[in-house]
A = this chain, B = another copy of it.
Amino acid sequence: MLNWKNLDATETFPKIEKAEKVELPKVMAGENGAKRVREYHIPMAEGLDYNYAAKTVDDRLIDLLQELADEQQLVDKYEYLLGGAIVNTGEKRHVLHQLTRGQLKGDVIVDGVNKRDFYKKQQDRIAEFANKVHAGEIVNEKGEKFNTVVQIGIGGSDLGPRALYIALENWAKANGTLKMKARFISNVDPDDAAAVLDQTDLAHALFIVVSKSGTTLETLTNETFVKNAMKKQGLDPVKHMLAVTSETSPLAKNEGYLAAFFMDDFIGGRYSSSSAVGGAVLSLAFGPEIFAQILDGMHEEDKVALNRDIRKNPELMDALIGVYERNVLDYRTTAVLPYSQALSRFPAHLQQLDMESNGKSVNRFGEPVSYKTGAIIWGEPGTNGQHSFFQLLHQGRDIIPMQFVGFRENQAGMDDVIEGSTSQKKLCANVCAQIVALACGRDNENPNKKFWGNRPSSIITGDQLTPGRLGALLAHFENKVMFQGFTWNINSFDQEGVQLGKILAKDVLAHNTEGALKEYSEILGI
């Protein structure tokens, strides 16, 4: 029997609030610090490892977080979701993104359809299509092979697939599995599409129009924009366009597309990288077997997240440390800092994943909550960030929790020993140094050169960023966000906050405005 309670209605939360605080400069010093680094870590799938030694917790606090996890029945609620319950209470929908990568509970049947079979079937259809494109069996008007795939989508149809593509592009080149170059058009700003088209050989490009509803303003506008450009070159758009959409959308069963692959209402945009939304573009770019490796990594991490012991469940640990930082320590943002250029757009994807999921003020029953929920997520890759905003992380007046990611090996396989070490070693040395500098600080009689420390961070480490590890990494954050939503008793799967802007934008375009909105419209020449 599940009990859906607000965070401030739990018996455990007041205990956590009252618990003695951990001071990192104290606990991370000397042999005790070394012991923490050795002990405060949790193995993840694919050989990744989550280390939280530099977070402001200790055994006593972790016991309380475990108690909160148990009281809020976080893993039970995850199982409930996996079993096909209507967890998206606002929109009255199932939440099934984990089912795209494997089945962990019993069959989920919706309207007579076995949903695991449905998602698998789309993967198989995409794989078959992609293999034919790569083999030159599906070709352009002139019988020539396609060499580029362009995704037209926005939000979840853009950020996740784009971040994953960028994460693996160089790995795929180095491993000979880059089948087609991928590009992305998202913004309704016409300069976005114009720039992508300018560097794309249209005659040899496949375009994927991605919109669940088939009504997304930006995406349909960009689709028409692209089709117009094709027609100007005498190309037939039908020979170049695919759709990824729901079976009931206007884009489905539409003769304007070479093929359509399906998603459904039970996977939100921000969770759709493992559905056809990511599947089509990534299978075309890298080959279906690489996309399958991403899904396998996600599935393995989904399994790890089932563990009831917080010390063996990195998603649970990460989630509840985050709740502690947000609701007890009043930290308001988290910086995501991958020490990996391949993950340059990963923070932008996590930004959507986390902020759109948990940036809410009402609980799952629609009642306002009185405590803080989702925080701001932002970040850039290291070491670049060190030469940018790290000044504030070290010496600013607010404390910013940080999530580092680091790999022991690079992807491209090119590296040189310069001044006694490779670039990869320098990269890794820097992330180690930052964690310790931020946690421990260093005194100086000149306050301008003093580091207070006590800046908490965790790090996820691994050998090399491969498709499987990328999948595990992504599933870690998806499941972390889910556990936080359960802890706060909110619905992480709707997004009512985006509606009002859409309505008003339509009013502006229809010149149906008054007051301030009319004045702004005039300033911008609409």
Contacts and interface: CB of A to CB of B under 8 A. Distances in A.
Interface in A297-335: 332-333
Given A332-B333, A332-B398, A517-B433, A448 B362 contact: yes
A317 to B, nearest CB: 17
Interface stretch (A30-38, A134-142, A255-263): A30-38
Interface in A508-526: 508-509, 514-521, 523-526
A414 B190 contact: yes
A235 B348 CA distance: 38
B390 A191 contact: no
A520 B191 contact: no
Interface stretch (A15-23, A123-131, A151-159, A239-247): A151-159
A390 B188 CA distance: 16
B359 A396 contact: yes
A498 interface: yes
A173 B198 CA distance: 10
Contacts of A523: 37, 49, 51, 461
A58 to B, nearest CB: 15
B416 A224 contact: yes
A104 interface: no
A391 B497 contact: yes
Given A359-B395, A504-B436, A505-B430, A186 B384 contact: yes
Interface in A417-462: 418-442, 446-449, 451-452, 459, 461
A445 to B, nearest CB: 10
B389 A448 contact: no
A441 B388 CA distance: 35
A12 interface: no
B509 A425 contact: yes
Contacts of A489: none
A448 B494 contact: yes
Copies in the complex: 2
Interface in A218-247: 218, 220-222, 224-225, 228-229
A201 interface: no
A2 to B, nearest CB: 20
A55 interface: no
A148 interface: no
A468 interface: no
Contacts of A398: 332, 372, 375-376
A17 to B, nearest CB: 17
A156 to B, nearest CB: 7
A484 interface: no
A337 to B, nearest CB: 12
A75 to B, nearest CB: 26
A37 B519 contact: yes
23 contacts: A38-B519, A155-B387, A187-B384, A189-B339, A191-B411, A352-B387, A360-B391, A367-B447, A371-B397, A375-B398, A376-B378, A386-B501, A394-B498, A406-B524, A425-B526, A432-B521, A433-B503, A435-B520, A436-B516, A437-B500, A449-B499, A459-B520, A461-B523
